């Protein structure tokens, strides 16, 4: 899209763009290029010599069962966080959109968790699920369920999924609510006059009209489950037990920082870059299409 009326200055637009372009060049393009370069290199254990190894880092990565496990963890984790947080958010948004008393209060009470940091959400969940300190953790053990997410990998995955979904609900709630409010009331009234029951109205009128919002949230949620959850996993489980809750970001961090294997870590970054680009392109094409109709 291009506007007809524009200003004709020669130098000014470059001056206005300069700050963002400079910051982007130094802290975005340069490191991104370095990540790609490192992914083709291998350093010896002492960091003395570096050699070009072509695609070996990538080959090693996908030949490594532990990495495939990490990829699977990421998919499993993102899937459940997205399904849970979007499902709960949609239910709450539909209800909070009804004409009921205290509607605005409910909205405020459901929106504020948006402000909580992932790492802080993890701390809150420790006090719920810790086997000896947590309210629910203690209760479970009291009922004879052997609960200790620090030892049991499945339980650890469950806790990080719950914490991440909990944190994400209010964001989705906001967007679903906005989506619901932009549906013309006349459409809903017409459906009601035609005698459609509330649940029928939801599935045949509201839900299809919400699909752009739903799709947008789907992409955002997957991206945030993959990238924004480092804090939750680090604070709650540290990727453990074993590597039951390691996701791709976490693994890239561990390999780079702890194992000092920069080649492998860079290759993992490149894999993630390609994944985000694919997601973003899907989203962008979709949004562009939406703009046209």
Partner 1 sequence: MSQVQPAIAAPVPLAAEAPRRRRFLGADLTTHVILLLGVVLFALPIWIVLMGSTHDAATIGRGEVPLLPGSEGWNNYATAWSEGNTRRASVPVSTMMFNSAVMALLITVGKLAISITSAYAVAFFSFPGRMLCFWAIFITLMLPVEVRIFPTFQVVSDLGMVNTYQGLIIPLIASATATLLFRQFFLTIPDELVEAAKMDGAGPMRFFKDIVLPLSATNIAALFVILFVYGWNQYLWPLLVTTSTDVETIVIGIVKMLGAEADTEWNIVMATTVLALLPPVAVVILMQRWFVKGLTETEK
Within 144-203, the residues that bind partner 1 by CB under 8 A are 166, 169-170, 174-175, 177-179, 181-182, 198
The strand pair at 41-43 and 50-52 is best described as antiparallel
**C-alpha distances out from residue 168 to 74, 213, 218, Å:** 16, 15, 12
Q: Which of 53, 111, 188, 209 binds partner 1 (CB under 8 A)?
A: 111
Beta-ladder partners of 43: 50
Which one, 57 or 269, has the nearer CB to partner 1?
269
Q: Which is nearer to partner 1, 213 or 243 (CB)?
A: 213
Comparing CB distances to partner 1, the nearer of 3 and 65 is: 3
Q: How many CB atoms lie within 10 A of CB 102?
A: 9
Strand partners for 52: 41
Q: Which stretch binds partner 1 (CB under 8 A): 57-65, 77-85, 121-129, 184-192?
A: 121-129
108 is a contact residue toward partner 1 (CB under 8 A): yes
Half-sphere exposure in the Cβ direction for 21 (13 Å, CA):
6
Per rule CB under 8 A, count of chain residues that contact partner 1: 99
Helix axes 153-181, 211-227, angle to 10 degrees: 150
CB-CB neighbours of 272 under 10 Å? 17
Best CA proximity match to 85, nearest among 184, 191, 224: 224
- Using CB under 8 A, which of 55, 117, 187, 190 touches partner 1? 117
Q: Which stretch binds partner 1 (CB under 8 A): 4-12, 62-70, 151-159, 185-193?
A: 4-12
132 binds partner 1 (CB under 8 A): yes
**Which residue from 71, 106, 140, 158 is in contact with partner 1, where contact means CB under 8 A?**
106
Minimum distance, C-beta of residue 280 to partner 1, in the bound complex (Å): 4
Tokens of 91: 């239910």
Mark 201-230 with x for binding to partner 1 (rule: CB under 8 A) and - for no binding.
Answer: ------------x---------x---xx-x
- For helices 262-292 and 211-227, the axis angle rounded to 10 degrees is 170
Phi first, then psi: what are they for 182, rounded to 5°? Answer: -90, 0
Neighbouring residues of 70: CB distance < 8 A, sequence distance ≥ 6: 243, 246, 247, 248, 250, 251
Q: Which of 50, 91, 192, 282 binds partner 1 (CB under 8 A)?
A: 91
Residue among 6, 45, 193, 258 that touches partner 1 (CB under 8 A): 6
Site for partner 1 in 17-46 (CB under 8 A): 17, 19-21, 23-24, 26-35, 38
What is the rounded distance in angstroms from the CA atom of residue 31 to the CA atom of residue 14?
Answer: 23
CA–CA gap between residue 229 and residue 99 (Å, rounded)? 35
Only one of the segments 42-50, 52-60, 67-75, 124-132 lies at the binding site for partner 1 (rule: CB under 8 A); that segment is: 124-132
Site residues for partner 1, 230-289, by CB under 8 A, read 230-231, 234-235, 249, 252-253, 256-257, 262, 265-266, 269, 272-273, 276-277, 280
């Amino acid at each position: 899209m291009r506007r007809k009326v524009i200003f004709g200055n020669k130098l000014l637009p470059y001056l206005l763009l300069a700050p963002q372009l400079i910051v982007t060049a130094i802290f975005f393009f340069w490191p991104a290029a370095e990540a790609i370069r490192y992914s083709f290199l291998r350093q010896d254990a002492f960091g003395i010599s570096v050699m070009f190894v072509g695609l070996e880092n990538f080959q090693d990565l996908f030949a490594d069962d532990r990495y495939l496990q990490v990829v699977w963890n990421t998919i499993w984790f993102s899937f459940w966080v997205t399904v849970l947080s979007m499902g709960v958010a949609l239910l709450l948004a539909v209800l909070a959109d009804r004409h009921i008393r205290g509607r605005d209060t409910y909205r405020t009470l459901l929106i504020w968790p948006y402000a909580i940091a992932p790492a802080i959400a993890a701390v809150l969940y420790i006090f719920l699920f810790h086997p000896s300190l947590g309210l629910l953790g203690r209760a479970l053990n009291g009922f004879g369920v052997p609960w200790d997410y620090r030892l049991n990998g499945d339980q650890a995955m469950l806790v990080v999924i719950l914490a991440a979904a909990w944190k994400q609900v209010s964001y989705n709630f906001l967007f679903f609510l906005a989506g619901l409010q932009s549906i013309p009331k006349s459409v809903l009234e017409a459906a009601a006059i035609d005698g459609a029951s509330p649940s029928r109205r939801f599935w045949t009128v509201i839900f299809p009209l919400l699909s752009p919002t739903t799709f947008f949230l789907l992409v955002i949620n997957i991206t945030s489950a993959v990238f924004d959850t480092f804090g939750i996993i680090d604070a709650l489980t540290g990727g453990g037990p074993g590597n039951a809750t390691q996701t791709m970001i976490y693994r890239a961090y561990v390999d780079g920082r702890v194992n000092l294997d920069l080649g492998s870590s860079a290759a993992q970054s490149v894999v993630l870059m390609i994944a985000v680009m694919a997601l973003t392109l899907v989203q962008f094409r979709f949004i562009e299409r939406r703009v046209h109709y």
